[in-house]
Amino acid sequence: LYVDAGLAAGEAFEADRNQFHYLAHVIRAEEGAELLLFNGRDGEWLARISYPTRKKIMLHPVEQTRPQPPLADLTYLFAPLKVGRMDYMVQKAVEMGAGRIQPVMTQHVQGKPGKSDRLAANIIEAAEQCGVLAVPELLEPVKLADLLEKWEPGRRLIFCDEADAHQNPVSALRQVREGKLALLIGPEGGFSDEERAMLRSLPFVTPIPLGPRILRADTAAVAALSVIQATIGD
């Protein structure tokens, strides 16, 4: 269960409304029940619950069961889509090992960057569901040109572009030497010719194809993350 509070032995804290509902009504946890907590900072903790009153639950961290791992060094950059599909895409990016997630505004973007609260809640829920203790960071939306202009030295950008259909993504990725990576998936309308030319001219960009079919952006995200993890991932 994800909590905001700091986790340390002997430092009990009160479950908030949503946690109370989940513990008391969904899983019907009883006095003394044990559960695992994480907050994205202090690793994973075994905790016990107590009910000082019928309307209040206290969570008592007992011992750390896993140390806090570092954030995965893979940034997932995506052009916003319709809300429901973006929810799916962000959830899958967490499951597939992205450490930072950032909306990127390109020329043909149709969706809005998305409410950051909703995206952040999705990220936490996905981390909870798949046991990721280092909750990925959600970064502010950025324009593609600004992002490229201030690119972090030493980070390679894997650019998914259907224009390279004849190539093999695995051999393209095997050439990648940098450990720090970012993955860019375009909007439903694709990249503009100008954006494509700009991306291809940059020395830190590696374009990769994902096969001869045009995939929806959310499918492309899952496919690209799988190939990256299978080829050069941890």
Choices 6-14, 32-40, 146-154, 159-167 (CB under 6 A): range interacting with ligand SAM: 159-167
We find the least distance from the C-beta atom of residue 133 to ligand SAM, in angstroms, to be: 30
Please give the angle made by the CA atoms of 172, 104 and 201, to the nearest 5 degrees.
45
Q: Which is nearer to ligand SAM, 45 or 159 (CB)?
A: 159
Hey, CA dihedral for 100, 105, 109, 110, is it positive or negative? positive
We find the least distance from the C-beta atom of residue 79 to ligand SAM, in angstroms, to be: 7
Query: Is residue 66 a contact residue for ligand SAM (CB under 6 A)?
Result: no
Tell me the two tokens of residue 158: 């894997």
Query: Is residue 190 a contact residue for ligand SAM (CB under 6 A)?
Result: yes
Query: Is residue 209 a contact residue for ligand SAM (CB under 6 A)?
Result: yes
We find the least distance from the C-beta atom of residue 213 to ligand SAM, in angstroms, to be: 6
**209: phi then psi, degrees, rounded to nearest 5:** -90, 160
220, 225, 228, 232: which one binds ligand SAM (CB under 6 A) = 220
Choices 10-18, 30-38, 52-60, 215-223 (CB under 6 A): range interacting with ligand SAM: 215-223
Cα separation of 151 and 153, whole Å?
Answer: 6
> 10: left (phi > 0), else alpha (psi -120 to 50), else beta?
left
Query: Is residue 185 a contact residue for ligand SAM (CB under 6 A)?
Result: yes
198 alpha-carbon distance from chain centroid: 26
Indicate the pairing of strand 56-66 with strand 13-14: antiparallel
Query: Is residue 81 a contact residue for ligand SAM (CB under 6 A)?
Result: no
Query: Is residue 217 a contact residue for ligand SAM (CB under 6 A)?
Result: yes
We find the least distance from the C-beta atom of residue 198 to ligand SAM, in angstroms, to be: 14
Q: Whose CB is nearest to ligand SAM?
A: 186
94 and 78 in contact (C-beta within 8 Å)?
A: no
Q: State the DSSP code for 204.
A: T
Query: Is residue 211 a contact residue for ligand SAM (CB under 6 A)?
Result: yes
191, 205, 225, 232: which one binds ligand SAM (CB under 6 A) = 191
Query: Is residue 162 a contact residue for ligand SAM (CB under 6 A)?
Result: yes
Strands (E), the chain: 13-14, 34-38, 44-53, 56-66, 74-78, 100-105, 137-138, 142-143, 155-160, 180-185, 205-208
Q: What are the residues binding ligand SAM (CB under 6 A)?
A: 160-162, 185-186, 188-191, 209-211, 213-217, 220
